[in-house]
Structure 1
Amino acid sequence: MREVTLTAGTVEYDDTGGDGPILVFLTGIFVSTTLWRHVVAALADGHRCIVLEVPLGAHRVPMNPDADLSSPGLARLVADFLDALDLRDVTLIGCDWGGAQLVAAHGLGKRLARLVLLPQESFENFPPGLPGRTLHRSSKIPGATFLALQTLRIRGLRRSPINFGLMSKRPIPNDILDAWLRPSLTAGPIRRDLLKYLRTTRAGEYVDAAARLTTFDRPALVLWAPESRMMRPENGARLARALPKGRLIEVPDSYTLLPEDQPQLCATHLRDFIAAT
């Protein structure tokens, strides 16, 4: 992985290089860049695919102690990243964490040509679902998040409804999930960063963001999972309606982590959307 230093600290990212349309993928809570491995493999021929490791618990490099890691702060981090690499006409793609919405909603998308929203935090659904609410509540009690994380060392517990059972319809390979969880399990500064996000993001953040999406006048695609029990099925259509040039495509047989459950369909829809717009 490569590194770049921003105002908030040093972030890691993967970059396939190339001269094709630029796609920037964002990660989520306890979800690292390898979430997008199959999608990137399918799109790398003809596209420049960049995956940013957002500091949400699966990152390996701690942020600066004074970094703003609230949702708006992380949205500014994404915008700083695009500036630092001087990326233009970007297709910004988010899943799980709702930061791609915030970049567009808060006027930070000057470098964006398109927006793609996969199942993620939206509207009133923050913290999202049972796993999100459980993690959010643990963040309010000193030491509770650390203790809750220890249960994830036991592979058999990872598919429970309060862990990754509602995140993906199919089990995530153990080596992939081990790598996602290792930073938060083993490093206090990484947990500190995650707790900053959990403790400083307002419950109404995404309601406000949705109201501001009307200002994003570029093509937008909402790829949603109607079977998801964590990211509300109806919110995909609501996001598409909120975006002036929004379009909804529902992807079957998937939960929140659509790139894990349906990577080929995800890649096909992205390729078609970019070619058409």
Structure 2
Amino acid sequence: MVDHETWSDEQSTTTVSVDDRDLEVAYHDAGPHEGEGPPVVFVHGIPTWSFLWRDIVPAVAEDRRTIALDMVGYGNSAMSDDFDRSIRAQERVLEAFLEDLGIDRIALVAHDIGGGVALRFAAHNPDAVDRLVLSNAVCYDSWPVEFVSNLGLPSTADLEREELEGRLDSAFVEGAYGEADPEFVDGMKAPWLTDEGHVSLVRDAVATNTNHTTEIDYEAITAETVLLWGEDDVMQPYAYAERLAEDIPDATLAPLSDAYHWVPEDRSDAYVDRLREFLSGTEV
């Protein structure tokens, strides 16, 4: 199992231009570049980064090219205090990022606000998404949750590092099913425990905007979709997966029991099995 420092060392970077800003995007690229099926792109949420997929990417990369990016303002991507981090902007980053890599069709796997980015991208670029996997994704009016809203308060920017770390500990421990792996928790916290990361986290939280998912035309999504959802989550409840299944024309519910919000971590083995089955065209 890779640790967060090794994961960071394995990342590449590129620069994309969005809203007249040049922004560095870090990404983990693994698996065969030639083979059956388009690349599988993984998008995380808040307050995570691409390390969220540490247990998922290696198995998928046995068969397919995998690309797990850090959204701008997160992980090892740009964190400066001068650009839009909303999911509208993150959608444009994803578009520019794929264009930069010369990729025109993908399978898209997303969690939390990354799910909101993926929903917008799939609705606006139906020909670009072959298959779509949504896990405990923000949608409709399901967000922001209280924890994220509190991260965006001006007072959060003035927190002592120890108190900020305590809040993050609570989020990752309480959002896990059972005992959270300390390596997972430490890896998730790491990007935020610098001065720049601390401020960036506050800006990321401030940028959450429910309008960016309430305005989506969910029926415009044509990709075959699976809702691989931790059914015990209280932050993005399973009821929203059921609603998505009604509105996305080709969507299938695939609940994972004994899983809270961090479902790729809580049920990594089952998640990998179902994801690989879906990507291969097998019924989930």
User: Is 1:151 equivalent to 2:159 in the alignment?
Assistant: no
Count of aligned positions: 263
CA distance 1:63–1:185, change in 2 (3 Å): closer
Q: Distance in 2 between matches of 1:31 and 1:259?
A: 12
User: Is 1:186 equivalent to 2:194 in the alignment?
Assistant: yes
Q: Distance in 1 between matches of 2:162 and 2:278?
A: 41
Structure 1: tracts of 5 or more residues without a match: none
Q: Distance in 2 between matches of 1:192 and 1:77?
A: 20
Task: Name the counterpart of 1:195.
Answer: 202
Deviation for aligned residue 1:110: 4.2
Aligned residue type for 1:7: S
The normalised TM-score by structure 2 is: 0.83
Deviation for aligned residue 1:149: 5.9
CA distance 1:266–1:102, change in 2 (3 Å): same
Structure 2: tracts of 5 or more residues without a match: 1-10
Aligned residue type for 1:147: L
Deviation for aligned residue 1:122: 1.9
Q: Distance in 2 between matches of 1:262 and 1:276?
A: 21
Deviation for aligned residue 1:221: 1.1
Q: Which structure's relative contact order is higher, taking Cα pairs within 8 Å and 6+ residues apart?
A: 1
Q: Distance in 1 between matches of 2:110 and 2:66?
A: 13
Deviation for aligned residue 1:270: 1.4
- Superposition pairs for residues 218-237 of structure 1, below 5 Å? 218-237=223-242
Q: Distance in 1 between matches of 2:59 and 2:31?
A: 14
Tell me the percent identity.
Answer: 25
- Superposition pairs for residues 1-277 of structure 1, below 5 Å? 1-8=11-18, 9-18=23-32, 19-20=34-35, 21=37, 22-57=39-74, 59-63=75-79, 65-97=81-113, 98-105=116-123, 107-128=124-145, 133-141=146-154, 143-147=155-159, 150-154=162-166, 160=170, 163-188=171-196, 190-209=197-216, 212-276=217-281
Deviations 1:173-224 (A, max 9, x none): 3233223222222132x34433333323323332222xx1211112111111
8 Å CA contact 2:177, 2:259 repeated in 1: yes
Q: Please state whether the residue corresponding to 2:136 is helix, strand or coil.
A: strand
Q: Distance in 2 between matches of 1:55 and 1:177?
A: 21
Task: Name the counterpart of 2:8.
Answer: none
The normalised TM-score by structure 1 is: 0.85
Q: Please state whether the residue corresponding to 1:164 is helix, strand or coil.
A: helix
CA distance 1:66–1:145, change in 2 (3 Å): closer
Q: Distance in 2 between matches of 1:146 and 1:79?
A: 34
Aligned residue type for 1:6: V
8 Å CA contact 2:55, 2:268 repeated in 1: yes
Q: Distance in 2 between matches of 1:7 and 1:213?
A: 27
CA distance 1:244–1:193, change in 2 (3 Å): same
Q: Please state whether the residue corresponding to 1:165 is helix, strand or coil.
A: helix
Q: Please state whether the residue corresponding to 2:238 is helix, strand or coil.
A: coil
Provide the aligned C-alpha RMSD in A. Answer: 2.3
